[in-house]
Amino acid sequence: MRALGVENVAIAYGRRSVIGGLTLAPMRPGTLTALIGPNGAGKSTLLRALAGLLPSRGRILLGDSDLSRMSLAERARHVAYMPQGLPQGVQLTVLETLIGALKASPPVSGALSAEQAAERGLALLERLGVADLALSPLDRLSGGQRQLAALAQALVHQPEVLLLDEPTSALDLHFQLSVMGLVRDLVATAGLVGVIVLHDLGLVARFADRVVVLNDGALEADDTPQLTFTAPLLARVYGVTGRVERCSRGGLLVLADEPLPGYRG
């Protein structure tokens, strides 16, 4: 059970700096941290850098080991990344994608046979409650089922860190709640370090333990949703007038009222 640390991380596309020297308090196992901020704030960029898909300066630490010094294959054993959306037109069943993921980069325990990989994939699907989708082609799944399949692909290597890029975008209400509930439970029960990029502040308030607010590549706030979400923050970061209210069941309600004139993002 190791924490994920971000120390003085800087990321640039060519000469254009996207994130400059970001340091975050360690993200502990069993907690779900939401990365939020306006479009172009650097949320997805940071997530991709944590996954090792973008080069970055500074240190990304898992416990004491520096992830940025590991090869992609080595890193894949510790860190799982779920990008937005699965590609269309792929003629593979859900189970085949899991076997493919496992066989593409054998786990640290050594190479699995295709049958062992299939067993492991099936066990995971059962745990996620979607064993009935195992033999369904990806292309015949609904949007929500596709996200569950994608989540299974990310989890199949039994990672310590789970990075999710907007897993609920384009999902209906039912699947938004079921995917987020599943993620929160997995993170808590398996002791994963969960990091998720989300746009929906209501879902953040409800499911995240911690929220990191990025604005223009810099850290704006970093605390629990209860302490972070305030009307001034909404105005400063998102350029909206809004209210943060506590509903009768104790949850937070984040209400955006009007866009502020003169906001340029």
Partner 1 sequence: MTAALGYRRMVGRRWIVLALLAVLLAAAVIGDVVTGASRLGAWDLLSVLISPDTAPAAVRVIVWDVRLPLAVMAVLVGVSLALAGAEMQTVLNNPLASPFTLGVSSAAALGAALAIVLEQGLPWLPAGWLVPGNAFVFAFGAMMLLQFMSQLRGAGVDALVLFGIALVFAFNALVALLQFIATETALQQLVFWSMGSLSRTTWPAIALLAGALALCIPFSARATWKLTALRLGEDRARSFGVDVVALRRGALVRVALLAGLSVAFVGTIGFVGLVAPHAARLMVGEDHRFFLPAAALCGALLLSLASLAAKAIVPGVVVPVGIVTALVGVPVFVLLVFGRGRSA
Could you tell me if 144 and 179 are in contact, meaning their C-beta atoms sit under 8 angstroms apart? yes
Q: Which residues contact 110 (CB under 8 A, 6 or more apart)?
A: none
User: Where do we find the tokens 């369904």?
Assistant: 136
| Residue 131 binding partner 1, by CB under 8 A | yes
CA distance 251 to 249: 6
CA distance 207 to 146: 21
| Residue 48 binding partner 1, by CB under 8 A | yes
CA distance 223 to 208: 10
CB of 215 to partner 1, least distance (A): 25
Among the listed ranges 4-12, 33-41, 82-90, 218-226, the one in contact with partner 1 (CB under 8 A) is 82-90
| Residue 73 binding partner 1, by CB under 8 A | yes
| Residue 104 binding partner 1, by CB under 8 A | yes
Report DSSP letters for 144-160, one per residue: HHHHHHHHHHHHTT--S
Among 16, 55, 89, 249, binds partner 1 (CB under 8 A): 89
CB of 70 to partner 1, least distance (A): 10
Residue closer to partner 1 by CB (options 91, 109) is: 91
| Residue 137 binding partner 1, by CB under 8 A | yes
Could you tell me if 33 and 194 are in contact, meaning their C-beta atoms sit under 8 angstroms apart? yes
- State whether residue 47 is helix, strand or coil: helix
| Residue 119 binding partner 1, by CB under 8 A | yes
| Residue 128 binding partner 1, by CB under 8 A | no
Among the listed ranges 19-27, 44-52, 58-66, 243-251, the one in contact with partner 1 (CB under 8 A) is 44-52
Residue closer to partner 1 by CB (options 81, 229) is: 81
Residue closer to partner 1 by CB (options 89, 261) is: 89
CB of 112 to partner 1, least distance (A): 11
Structure tokens at 111: 């190479």
Task: Give the residue from 18, 7, 13 showing the smallest Cα distance to 217.
Answer: 18
CA distances from 176 to 123, 146, 183 (A): 24, 12, 11
Residue closer to partner 1 by CB (options 22, 76) is: 76
Task: Give the residue from 50, 140, 148, 165 showing the smallest Cα distance to 98.
Answer: 148
Interacting residue ranges for partner 1, rule: CB under 8 A: 14, 48, 51-53, 71-77, 79-83, 86-87, 89-93, 95-97, 99-101, 103-105, 114, 118-119, 122, 125, 131-132, 134-135, 137, 150, 153-154, 157
